[in-house]
Structure 1
Amino acid sequence: MLLSAIPNCNKSLISPALNQKKGNQEVESQWAKPRQELKLLQRLAPPIFAAFVALSPIIAPPVSYGQAIDVQRGASLFNRACIGCHVAGGNIIQPGATLFLKDLQRNGVDTEEEIYRITYYGKGRMPGFGEMCTPRGQCTFGARLQEDEIRLLSEFVKSQADQGWLNIGNGGD
Protein backbone atom coordinates (compact mmCIF):
# COMPACT_ATOMS: atom_id res chain seq x y z
CA MET A 1 0.00 0.00 0.00
CA LEU A 2 2.81 2.33 0.81
CA LEU A 3 4.39 1.47 -2.51
CA SER A 4 1.30 2.45 -4.45
CA ALA A 5 1.37 5.84 -2.78
CA ILE A 6 4.93 6.49 -3.97
CA PRO A 7 4.82 6.26 -7.77
CA ASN A 8 8.60 6.50 -8.43
CA CYS A 9 9.62 3.90 -5.89
CA ASN A 10 11.82 1.11 -7.22
CA LYS A 11 10.47 -2.24 -6.14
CA SER A 12 13.91 -3.81 -6.41
CA LEU A 13 15.05 -1.84 -3.39
CA ILE A 14 12.23 -3.20 -1.30
CA SER A 15 12.19 -6.84 -2.40
CA PRO A 16 15.47 -7.84 -4.08
CA ALA A 17 14.85 -11.61 -3.83
CA LEU A 18 11.48 -11.39 -5.56
CA ASN A 19 12.88 -9.13 -8.31
CA GLN A 20 15.92 -11.40 -8.86
CA LYS A 21 13.67 -14.41 -9.50
CA LYS A 22 11.56 -12.39 -11.92
CA GLY A 23 14.73 -11.05 -13.64
CA ASN A 24 16.08 -14.56 -14.21
CA GLN A 25 12.83 -15.58 -15.91
CA GLU A 26 13.03 -12.50 -18.15
CA VAL A 27 16.64 -13.28 -19.09
CA GLU A 28 15.74 -16.91 -19.83
CA SER A 29 12.79 -15.84 -21.97
CA GLN A 30 15.06 -13.44 -23.89
CA TRP A 31 17.41 -16.34 -24.79
CA ALA A 32 14.74 -18.97 -25.49
CA LYS A 33 13.93 -17.77 -29.02
CA PRO A 34 17.56 -17.47 -30.20
CA ARG A 35 18.25 -20.96 -28.80
CA GLN A 36 15.33 -22.36 -30.79
CA GLU A 37 16.58 -20.60 -33.92
CA LEU A 38 20.09 -21.97 -33.35
CA LYS A 39 18.75 -25.53 -32.99
CA LEU A 40 16.76 -25.12 -36.20
CA LEU A 41 19.82 -23.78 -38.00
CA GLN A 42 21.93 -26.69 -36.70
CA ARG A 43 19.38 -29.16 -38.07
CA LEU A 44 19.08 -27.44 -41.45
CA ALA A 45 22.74 -26.55 -42.02
CA PRO A 46 23.98 -29.97 -43.26
CA PRO A 47 21.31 -30.44 -45.96
CA ILE A 48 21.58 -26.80 -47.07
CA PHE A 49 25.37 -27.04 -47.29
CA ALA A 50 25.13 -30.34 -49.21
CA ALA A 51 22.72 -28.77 -51.71
CA PHE A 52 25.01 -25.77 -52.11
CA VAL A 53 28.04 -27.97 -52.78
CA ALA A 54 26.15 -30.15 -55.25
CA LEU A 55 24.73 -27.24 -57.22
CA SER A 56 27.67 -24.83 -57.10
CA PRO A 57 29.79 -24.59 -60.27
CA ILE A 58 32.51 -22.83 -58.28
CA ILE A 59 33.19 -25.77 -55.98
CA ALA A 60 33.10 -28.42 -58.73
CA PRO A 61 36.09 -27.66 -60.96
CA PRO A 62 35.54 -28.23 -64.68
CA VAL A 63 38.75 -30.23 -65.14
CA SER A 64 40.95 -32.43 -63.01
CA TYR A 65 44.36 -31.36 -61.80
CA GLY A 66 46.01 -33.69 -64.32
CA GLN A 67 44.04 -32.18 -67.18
CA ALA A 68 44.99 -28.67 -66.05
CA ILE A 69 48.66 -29.69 -66.09
CA ASP A 70 48.25 -31.11 -69.62
CA VAL A 71 46.63 -27.89 -70.83
CA GLN A 72 49.46 -25.91 -69.30
CA ARG A 73 52.06 -28.14 -70.94
CA GLY A 74 50.21 -27.84 -74.27
CA ALA A 75 50.23 -24.05 -73.94
CA SER A 76 53.95 -24.10 -73.15
CA LEU A 77 54.66 -26.27 -76.22
CA PHE A 78 52.53 -23.96 -78.36
CA ASN A 79 54.43 -20.91 -77.10
CA ARG A 80 57.73 -22.63 -77.83
CA ALA A 81 57.04 -24.21 -81.24
CA CYS A 82 54.02 -22.56 -82.88
CA ILE A 83 53.57 -19.00 -81.72
CA GLY A 84 56.08 -17.68 -84.26
CA CYS A 85 53.50 -18.19 -87.02
CA HIS A 86 50.25 -18.76 -85.09
CA VAL A 87 50.03 -15.85 -82.64
CA ALA A 88 46.68 -16.16 -80.77
CA GLY A 89 45.51 -18.77 -83.28
CA GLY A 90 46.14 -16.67 -86.37
CA ASN A 91 48.63 -17.30 -89.17
CA ILE A 92 51.15 -14.65 -90.20
CA ILE A 93 52.42 -16.69 -93.20
CA GLN A 94 49.15 -17.87 -94.75
CA PRO A 95 46.04 -15.96 -93.56
CA GLY A 96 43.55 -18.64 -94.69
CA ALA A 97 45.24 -21.32 -92.60
CA THR A 98 44.57 -20.02 -89.10
CA LEU A 99 43.87 -22.21 -86.11
CA PHE A 100 40.37 -20.79 -85.68
CA LEU A 101 37.63 -23.41 -85.87
CA LYS A 102 36.06 -22.06 -89.09
CA ASP A 103 39.40 -22.24 -90.95
CA LEU A 104 40.26 -25.63 -89.49
CA GLN A 105 36.87 -26.97 -90.63
CA ARG A 106 37.19 -25.41 -94.07
CA ASN A 107 40.65 -26.98 -94.47
CA GLY A 108 39.52 -30.40 -93.18
CA VAL A 109 41.65 -30.21 -90.05
CA ASP A 110 38.98 -29.97 -87.35
CA THR A 111 39.82 -33.07 -85.28
CA GLU A 112 42.67 -33.69 -82.86
CA GLU A 113 43.88 -36.53 -85.11
CA GLU A 114 44.14 -34.26 -88.16
CA ILE A 115 45.85 -31.54 -86.14
CA TYR A 116 48.25 -34.19 -84.83
CA ARG A 117 48.99 -35.48 -88.35
CA ILE A 118 49.73 -32.02 -89.76
CA THR A 119 51.82 -31.05 -86.74
CA TYR A 120 53.81 -34.29 -87.06
CA TYR A 121 54.32 -34.36 -90.87
CA GLY A 122 53.57 -30.78 -91.92
CA LYS A 123 51.46 -29.57 -94.84
CA GLY A 124 52.09 -26.82 -97.38
CA ARG A 125 54.10 -24.08 -95.72
CA MET A 126 53.61 -25.67 -92.29
CA PRO A 127 56.68 -27.71 -91.35
CA GLY A 128 56.36 -31.05 -89.56
CA PHE A 129 57.68 -31.35 -86.02
CA GLY A 130 57.60 -35.15 -85.61
CA GLU A 131 60.73 -37.15 -84.88
CA MET A 132 60.14 -39.36 -87.94
CA CYS A 133 58.95 -36.55 -90.23
CA THR A 134 59.80 -37.03 -93.93
CA PRO A 135 60.54 -35.79 -96.54
CA ARG A 136 63.31 -33.71 -95.10
CA GLY A 137 62.30 -30.47 -96.84
CA GLN A 138 58.82 -30.65 -95.30
CA CYS A 139 60.11 -30.89 -91.72
CA THR A 140 61.27 -28.25 -89.30
CA PHE A 141 64.92 -27.39 -89.02
CA GLY A 142 64.37 -26.72 -85.33
CA ALA A 143 63.99 -29.11 -82.45
CA ARG A 144 61.66 -32.04 -83.05
CA LEU A 145 58.81 -32.88 -80.70
CA GLN A 146 58.10 -36.28 -79.22
CA GLU A 147 54.81 -38.02 -80.00
CA ASP A 148 53.30 -37.31 -76.57
CA GLU A 149 54.22 -33.63 -76.94
CA ILE A 150 52.53 -33.45 -80.34
CA ARG A 151 49.48 -35.17 -78.81
CA LEU A 152 49.32 -32.53 -76.04
CA LEU A 153 49.83 -29.79 -78.61
CA SER A 154 47.02 -31.06 -80.84
CA GLU A 155 44.67 -31.33 -77.84
CA PHE A 156 45.58 -27.79 -76.82
CA VAL A 157 45.06 -26.37 -80.34
CA LYS A 158 41.68 -28.15 -80.67
CA SER A 159 40.46 -26.93 -77.28
CA GLN A 160 41.58 -23.37 -78.01
CA ALA A 161 39.92 -23.46 -81.43
CA ASP A 162 36.69 -24.64 -79.79
CA GLN A 163 36.91 -21.73 -77.35
CA GLY A 164 37.82 -19.13 -79.96
CA TRP A 165 41.39 -18.71 -78.68
CA LEU A 166 40.26 -16.70 -75.66
CA ASN A 167 42.59 -18.29 -73.09
CA ILE A 168 45.95 -18.30 -74.86
CA GLY A 169 47.64 -15.84 -72.49
CA ASN A 170 51.07 -16.86 -71.36
CA GLY A 171 49.87 -20.33 -70.21
CA GLY A 172 52.89 -22.20 -69.06
CA ASP A 173 56.02 -20.20 -69.75
Structure 2
Amino acid sequence: MKKILSIVLLLSIVFNFTFVRPVLADAASGAKIFSANCAACHAGGKNLVNPQKTLAKADLEKYGMNSLEAITTQVTKGKGAMPAFQGKLNAEQIEDVASYVLETSEKGWSK
Protein backbone atom coordinates (compact mmCIF):
# COMPACT_ATOMS: atom_id res chain seq x y z
CA MET A 1 0.00 0.00 0.00
CA LYS A 2 2.84 2.40 0.83
CA LYS A 3 4.43 1.65 -2.51
CA ILE A 4 1.22 2.58 -4.37
CA LEU A 5 0.88 5.81 -2.40
CA SER A 6 4.51 6.65 -3.13
CA ILE A 7 3.98 6.09 -6.84
CA VAL A 8 0.80 8.21 -6.86
CA LEU A 9 2.59 11.00 -4.99
CA LEU A 10 5.55 10.87 -7.35
CA LEU A 11 3.30 10.97 -10.41
CA SER A 12 1.39 13.89 -8.95
CA ILE A 13 4.61 15.85 -8.40
CA VAL A 14 5.89 15.06 -11.89
CA PHE A 15 2.56 16.08 -13.43
CA ASN A 16 2.45 19.37 -11.52
CA PHE A 17 5.95 20.40 -12.50
CA THR A 18 5.58 19.21 -16.08
CA PHE A 19 2.18 20.58 -17.06
CA VAL A 20 1.46 23.42 -14.65
CA ARG A 21 3.44 26.53 -15.44
CA PRO A 22 4.38 28.41 -12.28
CA VAL A 23 3.63 32.12 -12.12
CA LEU A 24 6.96 33.84 -12.22
CA ALA A 25 5.74 37.23 -13.36
CA ASP A 26 7.81 40.18 -12.20
CA ALA A 27 5.70 43.25 -11.39
CA ALA A 28 8.80 45.48 -11.10
CA SER A 29 9.83 44.57 -14.62
CA GLY A 30 6.20 44.96 -15.65
CA ALA A 31 6.21 48.56 -14.36
CA LYS A 32 9.06 49.44 -16.73
CA ILE A 33 7.39 47.70 -19.66
CA PHE A 34 4.06 49.38 -18.81
CA SER A 35 5.73 52.78 -18.71
CA ALA A 36 7.33 52.25 -22.13
CA ASN A 37 4.37 50.62 -23.91
CA CYS A 38 1.08 51.24 -22.11
CA ALA A 39 1.28 54.53 -20.21
CA ALA A 40 0.46 56.63 -23.28
CA CYS A 41 -3.14 55.40 -23.04
CA HIS A 42 -3.24 54.06 -19.48
CA ALA A 43 -1.24 56.56 -17.37
CA GLY A 44 -2.30 56.35 -13.76
CA GLY A 45 -4.57 53.42 -14.54
CA LYS A 46 -6.84 55.54 -16.71
CA ASN A 47 -8.03 54.78 -20.23
CA LEU A 48 -7.75 57.73 -22.63
CA VAL A 49 -9.59 55.90 -25.42
CA ASN A 50 -12.53 54.55 -23.38
CA PRO A 51 -12.72 56.38 -20.03
CA GLN A 52 -15.26 53.89 -18.59
CA LYS A 53 -12.83 50.98 -18.89
CA THR A 54 -9.99 52.01 -16.61
CA LEU A 55 -7.46 49.77 -14.95
CA ALA A 56 -9.01 50.41 -11.54
CA LYS A 57 -9.85 47.27 -9.58
CA ALA A 58 -13.61 47.87 -9.79
CA ASP A 59 -13.51 48.28 -13.58
CA LEU A 60 -11.27 45.26 -14.07
CA GLU A 61 -13.77 43.21 -12.06
CA LYS A 62 -16.76 44.71 -13.88
CA TYR A 63 -15.37 43.76 -17.29
CA GLY A 64 -13.94 40.36 -16.31
CA MET A 65 -10.34 41.52 -16.54
CA ASN A 66 -9.39 40.80 -12.93
CA SER A 67 -7.08 37.83 -13.51
CA LEU A 68 -3.60 37.41 -14.88
CA GLU A 69 -4.98 35.21 -17.64
CA ALA A 70 -7.57 37.77 -18.80
CA ILE A 71 -5.11 40.67 -18.78
CA THR A 72 -2.44 38.57 -20.50
CA THR A 73 -4.90 37.65 -23.25
CA GLN A 74 -5.99 41.28 -23.69
CA VAL A 75 -2.40 42.52 -23.97
CA THR A 76 -1.39 39.66 -26.25
CA LYS A 77 -4.32 39.79 -28.67
CA GLY A 78 -5.61 43.34 -28.22
CA LYS A 79 -9.28 44.20 -28.53
CA GLY A 80 -11.19 47.13 -29.98
CA ALA A 81 -8.93 50.17 -30.03
CA MET A 82 -6.23 48.41 -28.02
CA PRO A 83 -3.51 46.98 -30.24
CA ALA A 84 -2.12 43.48 -29.85
CA PHE A 85 1.34 43.37 -28.32
CA GLN A 86 2.13 39.83 -29.47
CA GLY A 87 5.25 40.17 -31.56
CA LYS A 88 6.24 43.47 -29.93
CA LEU A 89 6.54 42.00 -26.42
CA ASN A 90 7.48 38.44 -25.60
CA ALA A 91 5.30 36.20 -23.41
CA GLU A 92 7.34 36.88 -20.27
CA GLN A 93 7.09 40.66 -20.75
CA ILE A 94 3.34 40.41 -21.28
CA GLU A 95 2.97 38.35 -18.09
CA ASP A 96 5.06 40.90 -16.22
CA VAL A 97 2.82 43.74 -17.43
CA ALA A 98 -0.29 41.77 -16.48
CA SER A 99 1.14 41.14 -13.03
CA TYR A 100 1.96 44.83 -12.63
CA VAL A 101 -1.54 45.93 -13.72
CA LEU A 102 -3.26 43.47 -11.39
CA GLU A 103 -0.99 44.26 -8.44
CA THR A 104 -1.29 48.02 -8.95
CA SER A 105 -5.07 47.84 -9.29
CA GLU A 106 -5.17 46.07 -5.91
CA LYS A 107 -3.11 48.85 -4.31
CA GLY A 108 -4.90 51.66 -6.15
CA TRP A 109 -3.36 53.62 -9.00
CA SER A 110 -1.63 56.87 -8.07
CA LYS A 111 -2.33 60.01 -10.02
TM-score, length-scaled by structure 1:
0.48
Q: Is 2:79 the partner of 1:126?
A: no
How do 1:20-99 and structure 2 match up within 5 A?
70-99=26-55
One-letter code of the match for 1:77?
Answer: I
Q: Which secondary structure does the structure 1 equivalent of 2:36 belong to?
A: helix
Q: Give the CA RMSD over aligned residues.
A: 1.5
Aligned length: 87
How do 1:5-16 and structure 2 match up within 5 A?
none
Q: Is 2:71 the partner of 1:106?
A: no
Taking the aligned partners of 1:80 and 1:111, their CA distance within structure 2 comes to 22
Taking the aligned partners of 1:157 and 1:123, their CA distance within structure 2 comes to 17
Give the structure, 1 or 2, with the largest relative contact order (CA under 8 Å, sep 6 or more): 2
Taking the aligned partners of 1:112 and 1:103, their CA distance within structure 2 comes to 15
Taking the aligned partners of 1:128 and 1:88, their CA distance within structure 2 comes to 21
The equivalent position to 1:150 in structure 2, one of 73, 91, 94, is 94
Unpaired stretches in structure 2, ≥5 consecutive residues: 1-23
The runs of 4+ residues in structure 1 deviating greater than 3 Å are none
> 1:130-173: per-residue Cα shift (whole Å, max 9, x none)?
12xxxxxxxxxxxx00000001000000000111114x8xxxxx
Taking the aligned partners of 1:73 and 1:114, their CA distance within structure 2 comes to 19
